[in-house]
Protein backbone atom coordinates (compact mmCIF):
# COMPACT_ATOMS: atom_id res chain seq x y z
CA UNK A 1 0.00 0.00 0.00
CA UNK A 2 2.74 2.46 0.95
CA UNK A 3 4.41 2.77 -2.46
CA UNK A 4 1.06 2.94 -4.20
CA UNK A 5 -0.07 5.79 -1.99
CA UNK A 6 3.10 7.87 -1.76
CA UNK A 7 4.74 7.17 -5.11
CA UNK A 8 1.94 6.37 -7.52
CA UNK A 9 -1.21 8.13 -6.35
CA UNK A 10 0.37 11.39 -5.16
CA UNK A 11 2.94 12.02 -7.87
CA UNK A 12 1.02 13.79 -10.69
CA UNK A 13 2.17 11.71 -13.67
CA UNK A 14 1.82 8.22 -12.11
CA UNK A 15 -1.52 9.32 -10.59
CA UNK A 16 -2.78 10.37 -14.03
CA UNK A 17 -1.66 7.07 -15.55
CA UNK A 18 -3.32 5.11 -12.76
CA UNK A 19 -6.60 7.07 -13.02
CA UNK A 20 -6.67 6.45 -16.76
CA UNK A 21 -5.49 2.84 -16.92
CA UNK A 22 -6.23 1.36 -13.49
CA UNK A 23 -9.09 3.32 -11.91
CA UNK A 24 -10.05 0.42 -9.65
CA UNK A 25 -6.55 0.37 -8.18
CA UNK A 26 -6.79 4.11 -7.52
CA UNK A 27 -10.17 3.56 -5.89
CA UNK A 28 -8.71 0.80 -3.68
CA UNK A 29 -5.83 3.08 -2.62
CA UNK A 30 -8.27 5.80 -1.59
CA UNK A 31 -10.48 3.32 0.31
CA UNK A 32 -7.48 2.00 2.25
CA UNK A 33 -6.21 5.52 2.92
CA UNK A 34 -9.62 6.53 4.30
CA UNK A 35 -10.17 3.37 6.36
CA UNK A 36 -10.07 3.80 10.12
CA UNK A 37 -9.32 0.96 12.51
CA UNK A 38 -11.76 2.45 15.01
CA UNK A 39 -14.57 1.85 12.50
CA UNK A 40 -13.73 -1.79 11.86
CA UNK A 41 -14.01 -5.08 13.66
CA UNK A 42 -11.29 -7.15 12.07
CA UNK A 43 -11.41 -10.90 12.24
CA UNK A 44 -8.16 -12.76 12.23
CA UNK A 45 -7.76 -16.29 10.93
CA UNK A 46 -7.40 -19.07 13.48
CA UNK A 47 -4.13 -20.11 11.90
CA UNK A 48 -1.60 -18.74 9.46
CA UNK A 49 -2.45 -19.74 5.89
CA UNK A 50 0.20 -22.07 4.50
CA UNK A 51 0.57 -19.96 1.36
CA UNK A 52 2.26 -17.35 3.60
CA UNK A 53 4.86 -19.85 4.79
CA UNK A 54 7.21 -19.35 1.77
CA UNK A 55 7.35 -15.66 2.65
CA UNK A 56 8.36 -16.51 6.22
CA UNK A 57 10.96 -18.92 4.84
CA UNK A 58 12.37 -16.07 2.73
CA UNK A 59 12.39 -13.77 5.76
CA UNK A 60 14.38 -16.44 7.64
CA UNK A 61 16.92 -16.69 4.83
CA UNK A 62 17.37 -13.00 4.08
CA UNK A 63 15.71 -10.42 6.33
CA UNK A 64 16.50 -11.91 9.73
CA UNK A 65 20.17 -12.61 8.91
CA UNK A 66 20.45 -9.03 7.62
CA UNK A 67 18.92 -7.71 10.85
CA UNK A 68 21.28 -9.90 12.88
CA UNK A 69 24.36 -8.66 10.99
CA UNK A 70 23.21 -5.09 11.49
CA UNK A 71 22.64 -5.73 15.22
CA UNK A 72 26.17 -7.08 15.62
CA UNK A 73 27.50 -3.99 13.82
CA UNK A 74 25.54 -1.64 16.09
CA UNK A 75 26.94 -3.49 19.10
CA UNK A 76 30.47 -3.05 17.68
CA UNK A 77 29.74 0.63 16.83
CA UNK A 78 30.56 0.10 13.16
CA UNK A 79 29.28 2.60 10.60
CA UNK A 80 28.93 -0.11 7.96
CA UNK A 81 28.74 -3.88 7.90
CA UNK A 82 28.67 -6.76 5.45
CA UNK A 83 26.50 -9.85 5.21
CA UNK A 84 26.18 -12.76 2.80
CA UNK A 85 22.61 -13.69 1.96
CA UNK A 86 21.83 -16.78 -0.09
CA UNK A 87 25.43 -16.87 -1.30
CA UNK A 88 25.58 -13.22 -2.37
CA UNK A 89 27.80 -10.80 -0.46
CA UNK A 90 26.44 -7.38 0.48
CA UNK A 91 29.27 -5.06 1.41
CA UNK A 92 29.46 -1.73 3.24
CA UNK A 93 25.80 -1.60 4.22
CA UNK A 94 24.98 1.37 6.45
CA UNK A 95 24.49 0.27 10.03
CA UNK A 96 21.22 1.38 11.60
CA UNK A 97 20.07 1.56 15.21
CA UNK A 98 16.51 1.63 13.85
CA UNK A 99 16.97 -1.85 12.35
CA UNK A 100 18.30 -3.08 15.69
CA UNK A 101 15.17 -1.65 17.30
CA UNK A 102 13.02 -3.52 14.74
CA UNK A 103 14.71 -6.82 15.66
CA UNK A 104 14.38 -6.03 19.36
CA UNK A 105 10.67 -5.30 18.90
CA UNK A 106 10.14 -8.62 17.10
CA UNK A 107 11.73 -10.40 20.08
CA UNK A 108 9.74 -8.35 22.61
CA UNK A 109 6.42 -9.18 20.95
CA UNK A 110 7.41 -12.83 20.55
CA UNK A 111 8.19 -13.16 24.27
CA UNK A 112 4.92 -11.42 25.19
CA UNK A 113 2.85 -14.11 23.44
CA UNK A 114 0.72 -16.45 25.49
CA UNK A 115 2.19 -19.97 25.71
CA UNK A 116 -0.21 -21.53 23.21
CA UNK A 117 0.32 -18.68 20.72
CA UNK A 118 4.08 -18.94 21.12
CA UNK A 119 3.90 -22.68 20.38
CA UNK A 120 1.96 -21.91 17.18
CA UNK A 121 4.52 -19.29 16.13
CA UNK A 122 7.38 -21.67 16.97
CA UNK A 123 5.78 -24.35 14.81
CA UNK A 124 5.69 -22.01 11.80
CA UNK A 125 9.20 -20.68 12.44
CA UNK A 126 10.55 -24.22 12.77
CA UNK A 127 8.71 -25.54 9.70
CA UNK A 128 9.93 -22.64 7.54
CA UNK A 129 13.51 -22.78 8.83
CA UNK A 130 13.31 -19.23 10.22
CA UNK A 131 13.54 -20.05 13.94
CA UNK A 132 17.33 -20.25 14.21
CA UNK A 133 17.82 -16.90 12.47
CA UNK A 134 15.04 -15.33 14.52
CA UNK A 135 16.48 -16.42 17.86
CA UNK A 136 20.16 -16.01 16.95
CA UNK A 137 20.48 -12.75 18.90
CA UNK A 138 17.48 -13.11 21.20
CA UNK A 139 17.72 -10.76 24.14
CA UNK A 140 19.57 -7.99 22.34
CA UNK A 141 17.98 -4.68 23.26
CA UNK A 142 17.76 -1.21 21.85
CA UNK A 143 17.31 2.25 23.32
CA UNK A 144 16.63 3.71 19.87
CA UNK A 145 12.98 4.52 20.47
CA UNK A 146 13.02 6.05 23.95
CA UNK A 147 10.31 8.52 22.90
CA UNK A 148 7.98 5.73 21.73
CA UNK A 149 7.43 7.43 18.37
CA UNK A 150 9.47 5.30 15.96
CA UNK A 151 9.60 5.16 13.08
CA UNK A 152 7.68 8.33 12.25
CA UNK A 153 7.94 10.69 15.19
CA UNK A 154 10.10 13.78 15.07
CA UNK A 155 11.60 12.72 18.39
CA UNK A 156 13.09 9.58 16.85
CA UNK A 157 16.80 9.54 16.10
CA UNK A 158 17.95 9.45 12.51
CA UNK A 159 17.88 5.98 10.98
CA UNK A 160 21.46 6.39 9.67
CA UNK A 161 24.46 8.59 10.33
CA UNK A 162 24.49 8.66 14.11
CA UNK A 163 27.71 6.77 14.84
CA UNK A 164 30.78 8.80 15.69
CA UNK A 165 33.19 5.88 15.35
Domain ranges of the chain: 2-39, 50-135
* Whole-structure pTM value: 0.72
Rounded distance between C-alpha atoms, residue 65 and residue 95, angstroms: 14
The per-residue pLDDT string of the chain (165 residues; one tens digit each, 9 = 90 and over) reads: 677 787 788 888 988 999 999 999 999 988 888 887 777 777 777 888 888 999 999 999 999 999 999 999 999 999 999 999 999 999 999 999 989 999 999 999 999 999 999 999 999 999 999 999 999 998 888 888 877 776 665 545 566 555 544
Among candidate residues 53, 43, 158, 143, the one with its CA nearest the CA of residue 100: 143
Residue 32 CA: distances (Å) to CA of 2, 85, 108, 122, 159: 10, 34, 29, 32, 27
The model's pLDDT over 81-128, given as tens digits with 9 standing for 90+, comes to 999 999 999 999 999 998 999 999 999 999 999 999 999 999 999 999
Amino acid sequence: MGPYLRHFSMDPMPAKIMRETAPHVMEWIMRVWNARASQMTPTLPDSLPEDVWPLIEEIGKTHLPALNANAEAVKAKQKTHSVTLEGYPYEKLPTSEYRLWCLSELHRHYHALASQDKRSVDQVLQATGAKAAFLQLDGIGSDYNASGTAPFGSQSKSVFGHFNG
